[in-house]
Structure 1
Amino acid sequence: MKCRAFHMLTVAVAIVVAWSFPAFAQTDPLPSWNDTPAKQAIIEFVGHVTEDGGSDFVAASDRIAIFDNDGTLWVEQPMYVQLAFALDRVKALAPMHPEWKDKQPFKAVLDGDMKALAESGEPGLVELIMATHAGMTVSEFSSIVTDWLATARDPRFKRLYTELVYQPMLELLAYLRANGFKTFIVSGGGVEFMRPWTDKIYGVPPEQVVGSSIKTKFVMRDGIPTIFRLPAVNFIDDKDGKPVGINEYIGRRPIAAFGNSDGDLEMLQWTTLTAGVRFGVLIHHTDAEREYAYDRHSHFGRLDVALDLAATNHWTVVDMKRDWKVIFPFQKQ
């Protein structure tokens, strides 16, 4: 009698498992994505490269996926978040630099004259970065960034910048990692501006962040070894600098690249225009109501040449309005 009862229990468990496993297996890995060709392309690509024994199988060690940050993983309008940080730093440091009130581009920042700031161009922005990001240790800079992000809010959404990350991309990062991918950020933004928070927000640890940098040097301060930040450019990880940074810091050619602007063009070319299964994606900002709509004429995140080349190079273009159910985590139902 006991044997029969045990047998019946075993059968019952087997039935439950049989019914439960397919339900689990069919769980949507990208719930914030609409069922459009973009989502299907992502899932098909992951299926091809992870199918053991398949003709397109890629070993886990070579499953490298790279992501731009600004405009790809979080908001970049009305200006790059790091630029907003630099502007706030100018205002905070201004009492110690009375000469700034008459010197551009600092005068433009203090006067709130964004037109004059824009006219200062890249040299002006570099000067701002050097003045606000150097002259301190790496640890001190990390603390300043962390403290700023804990309170600074976006002017439109009135939320912390770290809340303005894209929910569909968070799901994509997790989905890739669940399938054996190693995910990297490859951004034109400052590498030490990003490293203090990318692990917490994206699940990307600091050693998997590639970005622009300023020069540093080792210094003993009061018997304590430190790395000191110098007011000089070391490396610009943008446009044709991105493949260089990928090669230098990652050491493997990625098989998937995700960007949103012409600054990511060379990164996408380096990743996809080679032999083997490759996947390139452009995030196209098309939703003015939930986020922003911009491309060819934007000062930040301009998408022009790369957009024209997408079809020729077989890159998937993600239309944010059409392909995403929500933009930000706080918009989830």
Structure 2
Amino acid sequence: MRHIILSALLSCAPLSVFADPLPSWTESDSKGRIIEFVAAVTDPQRPEYVTPAERIAVFDNDGTLWAEQPVYFQLIFAMDRLAQLSKDDPSILTTPVLQAAAQGDLNTIAEGGHDALIEVLNASHSGVSVDEFQSAVADWLATARHPDTDLPFDKMTYQPMAELLRYLRDEGFKTYIVSGGGVHFMRVFAEEAYGIPPEQILGTYMDTTYDSADGKPVITKADGIAFIDDKEGKPINIERTIGRRPILAGGNSDGDFAMLEWTTAGDGPRLGVLIHHTDAEREWAYDRESPIGKLVDGLDKGPEMGWVIVDMAQDWSRIYTGAN
């Protein structure tokens, strides 16, 4: 009789009650704190309960939802695109920086700093419609491979984070990307990769123009950066675009510090999650000295703010969605 009663209860209960919502996370303190937070804010019987409308979660992309080494993937796309464009018109490589980019010379770009990066982005991203640009990104993602892993770039998304995004949405959260990456670049793959639609992606964007081509309206990407969605720009863009302070924020570098700080400074239950890249065997290990994804303030100040510091080597049993 007890077996019959148990079977009946199981058949009526939601699957989420029994299934592990984060199967690629080890049974660690990080996983436990995340699940406890979600349970607290979604249970109407608990004092921490948050209404669905206020369950906003924001995440950085590079280094948080997918990998970012040896350089940001969008920069690799920009260099590949310059190389392709220059085959048809070598005259576009007007400076040593652009010539180096077309040859895949990262050292020269790094030496040129911010100005060199903007120069490469202007040459590779502007002068085309948004539709044409996104078509070029899609074509690149379909064929390009990471230089170290040989995986497609959009298969180097993190399986544990994909599970976290899905778990949050199952529990009534609305998930957003808030990244320093280009908004038109991320919108090409993010819905399929993460389940996050284009209207919930905030990022850096270039100047654009509204014109007419062959009698049809077209939005064209122009030279110049209109807004950089990084550091203090992230909470500013969240407030401007979303209009609600998130209750959960995830990042991996000091470029995300202001976003997590602003999120967790609000009233009521809040959670900041930092991904610490500690896994040199399955991914990369880097933090304080890295030119990409530098993490200093988050490590020093995050724990006292109550943030979850995820140790990738210890807390994740699997890394990429595209690899075992």
TM range (shorter): over 0.9
Q: Structure 1 residue aligned with 2:157, among 131, 155, 165?
A: 165
Q: Distance in 2 between the 1:264 and 1:53 partners?
A: 33
Q: Equivalent residue for 2:9?
A: 18
Q: Equivalent residue for 1:194?
A: 186
Encode CA deviations 1:83-114: one digit per residue, 9 max, x unaligned.
00011011112235535656231122234432
3-state SS, counterpart of residue 281 of structure 2: coil
Q: Equivalent residue for 2:255?
A: 263
Summarize the alignment of residues 106-185 of structure 1 with structure 2, pairs less than 5 Å apart.
Answer: 106-185=98-177
Encode CA deviations 1:260-286: one digit per residue, 9 max, x unaligned.
001001101110012211000100000
Q: Deviation at 1:195?
A: 0.5
> Is 1:98 matched up with 2:66?
no
Change (3 A) 1:53 1:105: same
> Is 1:307 matched up with 2:299?
yes
- The answer for unaligned runs of 5 or more in structure 2 is none
Contact 1:68 1:258 survives alignment (8 Å): yes
Q: Deviation at 1:329?
A: 2.2
Q: Distance in 1 between the 2:243 and 2:14 partners?
A: 39
- The answer for unaligned runs of 5 or more in structure 1 is 1-7
Q: Distance in 2 between the 1:101 and 1:140 partners?
A: 21
3-state SS, counterpart of residue 304 of structure 2: coil
Name whichever of 11-20 and 291-300 sits farther off: 11-20
- Give the residue type in structure 1 aligned to 2:99: K
- Give the residue type in structure 2 aligned to 1:89: R
Encode CA deviations 1:2-41: one digit per residue, 9 max, x unaligned.
xxxxxx9xx9975522255579422111000000000000
Contact 1:100 1:107 survives alignment (8 Å): no
Summarize the alignment of residues 54-73 of structure 1 with structure 2, pairs less than 5 Å apart.
Answer: 54-73=46-65
Change (3 A) 1:150 1:111: closer
3-state SS, counterpart of residue 49 of structure 1: helix
Aligned residues: 323
- TM-score scaled by structure 1? 0.93
- TM-score scaled by structure 2? 0.95
Summarize the alignment of residues 71-86 of structure 1 with structure 2, pairs less than 5 Å apart.
Answer: 71-86=63-78
Name whichever of 104-113 and 151-160 sits farther off: 104-113
Contact 1:211 1:236 survives alignment (8 Å): yes
Q: Structure 2 residue aligned with 1:321, among 306, 310, 313?
A: 313
Q: Structure 1 residue aligned with 2:26, among 16, 29, 34?
A: 34
Q: Distance in 1 between the 2:184 and 2:94 partners?
A: 30
Q: Distance in 2 between the 1:157 and 1:43 partners?
A: 31
3-state SS, counterpart of residue 206 of structure 2: strand
Contact 2:278 2:313 survives alignment (8 Å): yes
Name whichever of 115-124 and 98-107 sits farther off: 98-107
What percentage of aligned pairs have identical amino acids? 49
Contact 1:214 1:235 survives alignment (8 Å): yes
- Give the residue type in structure 1 aligned to 2:292: F
Larger Rg over CA atoms: 1
CA RMSD of aligned residues (A): 1.8
- Give the residue type in structure 1 aligned to 2:236: V
Change (3 A) 1:17 1:318: same
Q: Equivalent residue for 1:5?
A: none
Q: Deviation at 1:165?
A: 0.5
